[in-house]
Structure 1
Amino acid sequence: MIGLKLKFKVTLAFALFIIGPFLIVGWISAYKAEESMQDELGRTMLQLAKQNHTTITKSMSAVNDKTITFLGNHLFNRTVLNPFWLNIETFSQINQADEILERWSSDGTSYTLYMMNREEKRTHVDLSDKNSGFKYFDFDHSDRPEWVQHADNKRGAGVFRLIPSSEGTATVSFIRSILNAQNYNDVIGYLVVSHLEVHFTRDLLSVQLPENSGIFLFNDANELLMQAGSAAFPEAGITELASRETSGYRFVNQGGERWLSAYAYEPDFHTRLVYHVPLNSLSSSWKGFQWFIMIVSAIYLVLVLLFVLYLLRMIVRPLHRLVTITKIYEPGVPLASDNSRDLLRSDEFGILYGSFLRMTRRLDHSFEENYAMKIKQKETELATLHSQITPHLLYNTLDSIYWYALRKGNKDVGGMIKDLSKLLRIGLSKGRTMIPIGEEIEHVQAYCRLQMKRYPDNFEVHWDIDEDAKKYTTPKVILQPLVENAIFHAVSSMDGEGEIRIAIRCADSEIEMTVEDNGFLPVDMERLEQITRGEITDKGYGIRNVHQRIQLHFGEAFGLRYIRGEGGGVKALITLPRQEYIKVIPDS
């Protein structure tokens, strides 16, 4: 590695640290992606099976509810059995019973009512060959059909079974034994709804599956009621799934092919729905895409390697010359342009060299700029000193006027001048932007006294100040704009009924300041919030300035917001963090 040229070093490093890891990671990713894809297909197919099974269960419940309604409407009047069904004997009575059952037959289904012939009625018509309608149940215990025993075991509940039809084929039927309302141990007949495959086939075929797939519906006795799709019934693998009272999915190898079996269980009728789908039909497109990505990635790596070799040739030589020029540069010494004409290109090296020349010019002028900045700093310091002297002169002048007013006996004017002096002193704060909350309270109290002199007997100000809060830090002049808005927009014209409540409290790790008025004029709260957030800039400069200054110092978690007051009016709420004020002693 040490004796190789840079071109071969980069090529070998590219193969070891890029191509090798890329192939390993690509293989692991493809393997994991295939596992993840199979699991996702299993979950999706299981969800599809559950949804389809729910649809079938709704159809089963509809049949069950319809038979209950039939029994309640025609066989029982509350707990009394309708004697009509026990005494059918004439042709007219048989037709009447058949007409009732035929009205309940719909959508291709057939209703058949078997009644125990305990009155030993002898009909003039042979009912044994009837496919539907009314029939007497004349089977002995020895030759009773198997579905009779299943219905008896349910004790009045319904069961779904395959029953041979007159055409010789099996039909999906719902069977309910009819119990004597006076004695539930006494079975007086059976209600059979056949040809239900008309409904269930529609539900099964509502989902389109890939080719060679199959859907299998089993009842509570693990009997295959129906199947849909082009796949043959794989009895070895599916029968075991049909006996489970859980839902899930699994992958099996069958006939040299991998299959996905998703099975859903519904406890209402203890039925199972099994989807049996060849995995290749679901993932063939994805595998083809995976191979396509791998081939494209390999071609991409080869192209990248060729491009790296090209870059080495284009970069190494001009980079070496640029380094040489950098070494000979000294601030203040002009560069020899003859040695660098070939670097004035339009590519990145030309841009780099141009930036290098601009950097040397900035370095050459840095001393002059530094000197100019020092002169400007001195001028700024003088201007700051002058601005400090001017407020000091103003404070002394106002203090002289205050004492003059007191000597002349005009205490009201003296108090107003004192409050004005306090407003100016705290508002300027010797250039400070942060002051103690105690000084902020003094500032807004002085402002309130001045405004109460201006609007005598128009409003009152109530104070609720937590003494512990006075030692914490706040941006200066954040309460005065809120009080000003409350006075001019709410209480200034209320003829003595106006109230402003100013509260400052400590709450956990925060300070809460509120200014609330009882103004009666309607206020657009949404517009107030828009002004506070800066979405409306032609109004409300004061409150927007307060909100922005708080967030500038403490972050977006704090600031100003407006809510409606409890007794009308508007409440302005300011939240600040608890930060104790530290007095900064200026340098002498």
Structure 2
Amino acid sequence: MGTGKRTKEDKKRFLSGTSLAVKVWYIIGGVFLLFTIMFSISALVLKERSIRDYEIRESETILNSMSGSITANIENYKDISRLVMLNKQVTAFLRAPAEEVGAGLKNDTIYGINDIFMVSDYVDSVFIFRSDNHYVTTGKGLYHIDYDLMEDETWHAHIKEREGGAAISLNGNGAVYRANGNQLLTIGRDIYDIYLQKPVGLLLVNISTGMLKSATESQKGSKVCIVSEDGTLLAGDKSVSEYFTSDMAIRYTMVHKSVRGNKNVRMISSIRVPDTPIIVMCASNASAQSIPVETTAVMLLLFVTFVVSISFAAVFISRNITHPIYTLSAEMEKTKEAGWLKKIDAEMPRNELSMLKESYNSIIDYLNDLFTRLIDKEKSVQKAEMRVLHEQIKPHFLYNSLETISFMALDAGAKDVHSALETLGSFYRNFLSKGNREIPLSREISIIKDYLALQKLRYGDIINDEYDISEDTLDIKIPKLILQPLVENSIYHGIRLTGEPGTIKITSYLEDDDIHIIVRDTGVGMSQDTIDELLGRSETPVEDQNASFGLKGTIERIKYYCDYKDVVRIRSEIGEFTEIELIIPTKLKEEERGNV
């Protein structure tokens, strides 16, 4: 145990006392060794995948070709079998009464069938059964017919459900087979009376496995076979059929299975021929192509490139990294001693260290810019407060003057002028609010109503106002005069520019301890650039500074009041509407609330 502890301490001492260049060489050597191992593994995996992909492509080509050839031949026999149902000798045989069915009629039927199939290869035999079990056949040799099975509804179901169409099976689905054991591919179909449209007989066309054998022989040099859905070999290489599994008969898609422990066979592929009980199989041998020459060349080029690159990087880092790092560290230390944020002016000859220097200088620029913006913002707030103070003139002289003029108008019979002056006096009383910086929402709404009443005297019916104020928000205090600039903007930069009547709607509600106040107008709307400019997302200054004090200045006041949180949202659609939403927390701590 003591030896193990000393070994760990020796390693720590060795690593701490080793120079940076030596450590870099160790790291690069480790990376090179790791890359060599990973490259070798990747090459082997790529080789195996390349071989498998090649085998799959070759197998799919062979299987699709064989399946397509078999399907084409079967479709050809199906088409010929339709002619049998229309042959006059066959229809005469099927319609004849039982007592008239004799050797002559049967021979005529056989001749008619032979005339149809005389140009068709691989047709072993044709059976036509009447409903009374009389039948004719063109087959030569001994056949076994299982009448009991043919009488079973289950046996006949796969033909009956085709309603005159062809059903493919092996050996008549077990009902007709040769005595010598040779397999037959059977095309079965009900024969319908063309006038009554009822089945009057059964047609079984038996095709020899010679057709399947010709399909396997067409794939010279390939190990292929054709089996039934129970794995019985029908044609081709018997050794391939030994790899048959039941799932090959269940799936109609291509199946690929790897074979282990066999040097001559790497993979077995199979596909079931559509609408038939036969499966085509193909074996891929180990002599398949390996990695293509182009891929091998690219991999070797990558390996050589990596070796050259890592060698160059090792020499480059070991010779040039130490001194620049010391220089960079010394410059940073000078900045610390200077006591203010100073950028590094030292020349950094290497790109990596130059990037580090630029990143450090960028941080210094950002911090200096941040300090400048904070100072400018503080100055802007102070200027805004001064402008608000300058606007708060001594109110008593204004009130007395308005009352005097109002009585004079009333004495003169100018009731409309008297009413307008009363509204104006109410507006200014609420407007000035004895210098209070926060007022209840109800008083702010009163200011807006008086303001809009005065604006209607000027613009008439062009302005409509609506209010949806929640009762539980009326007594909540908000910064004074934050809605009037928004309403003014809605009039002068929204509704008035449309040249048509418009509506200003003010809504308020509580949600999650925040009061939401929405001012919506049906004016010309705002562009996204204007919205970004008002919310401070754009560096482009507002062209009209007086207009910006009303709206943008209000936004700045609200942000400052709420400690610059995300409290203002603007939604707009050009030509349709503008909606400004203020979200003001109702439970701001005193230290979080700015001086508005």
TM-score of the aligned structures, taking structure 1 as reference length: 0.55
Aligned to 2:306: 300
Q: 1:560 and 2:566 equivalent?
A: no
Inter-partner Cα distance in structure 2 for 1:249 and 1:58: 21
**Is the CA contact 2:226–2:279 (under 8 Å) kept in the aligned structure 1?**
yes
Inter-partner Cα distance in structure 1 for 2:379 and 2:493: 39
Unaligned runs of 5+ in 1: 76-80, 122-134, 334-342, 564-568
Distance 1:116 1:266, change over 3 A: closer
Aligned-residue identity in percent: 13
Inter-partner Cα distance in structure 2 for 1:506 and 1:529: 28
Aligned to 1:450: 454
Q: 1:392 and 2:392 equivalent?
A: yes
Q: Deviations over 1:99-120 (max 9, x none)?
A: 9978xx9999989963236899
Structure 1 residue 252: deviation in Å?
0.6
**Is the CA contact 1:257–1:278 (under 8 Å) kept in the aligned structure 2?**
yes
Q: 1:237 and 2:251 equivalent?
A: no
Matches within 5 A, 1:178-197: 188-192=201-205
**Is the CA contact 2:85–2:191 (under 8 Å) kept in the aligned structure 1?**
no
Which residue identity is paired with 1:466? S
Inter-partner Cα distance in structure 1 for 2:527 and 2:357: 52
Aligned to 1:412: 419
Distance 1:176 1:328, change over 3 A: closer
Q: 1:284 and 2:283 equivalent?
A: no
Structure 1 residue 571: deviation in Å?
6.3
Inter-partner Cα distance in structure 1 for 2:78 and 2:436: 87
**Is the CA contact 2:187–2:205 (under 8 Å) kept in the aligned structure 1?**
yes
Q: 1:7 and 2:21 equivalent?
A: yes
Aligned to 2:268: 261
Distance 1:273 1:299, change over 3 A: same
Structure 1 residue 558: deviation in Å?
5.8
Q: 1:114 and 2:150 equivalent?
A: no
**Is the CA contact 1:561–1:572 (under 8 Å) kept in the aligned structure 2?**
yes
Matches within 5 A, 1:117-196: 136-137=136-137, 143-144=143-144, 153-157=155-159, 158-161=167-170, 174-176=187-189, 188-192=201-205
SS at the partner of 2:187?
A: strand
Inter-partner Cα distance in structure 2 for 1:99 and 1:240: 39
Q: Deviations over 1:277-323 (max 9, x none)?
A: 4577476349x847964773466246424432343223435655776
Unaligned runs of 5+ in 2: 1-13, 160-166, 340-345, 411-416, 534-539
Q: 2:315 aligns with which of 305, 309, 317?
A: 309
Inter-partner Cα distance in structure 1 for 2:400 and 2:70: 95
Inter-partner Cα distance in structure 1 for 2:382 and 2:489: 32
Q: Deviations over 1:201-236 (max 9, x none)?
A: 99xx9xxx9x97667665444456688xxx996122
Q: RMSD value over aligned CA atoms?
A: 7.3
Inter-partner Cα distance in structure 1 for 2:225 and 2:324: 73
Distance 1:145 1:296, change over 3 A: farther
SS at the partner of 1:253?
A: coil
SS at the partner of 2:465?
A: strand
**Is the CA contact 2:55–2:284 (under 8 Å) kept in the aligned structure 1?**
no
Aligned to 2:471: 467
Matches within 5 A, 1:183-582: 188-192=201-205, 218-223=227-232, 234-238=240-244, 242-243=248-249, 249-253=256-260, 255-257=262-264, 259-263=266-270, 272=279, 274=281, 276-278=283-285, 281=288, 284-285=291-292, 289=295, 293=299, 296-297=302-303, 300-301=306-307, 303-317=309-323, 383=383, 386-393=386-393, 399=399, 401-408=401-408, 409=410, 410-418=417-425, 421=428, 441=445, 444-456=448-460, 460-468=464-472, 471=476, 477-478=485-486, 481-482=489-490, 487-488=495-496, 492=500, 502-505=506-509, 511=516, 513=518, 515=520, 559-562=570-573, 579-580=585-586, 582=588
Which residue identity is paired with 1:136? V
SS at the partner of 1:393?
A: coil
Which residue identity is paired with 1:137? T
Inter-partner Cα distance in structure 1 for 2:132 and 2:381: 123
**Is the CA contact 1:175–1:190 (under 8 Å) kept in the aligned structure 2?**
yes
Q: How many residues align?
A: 505
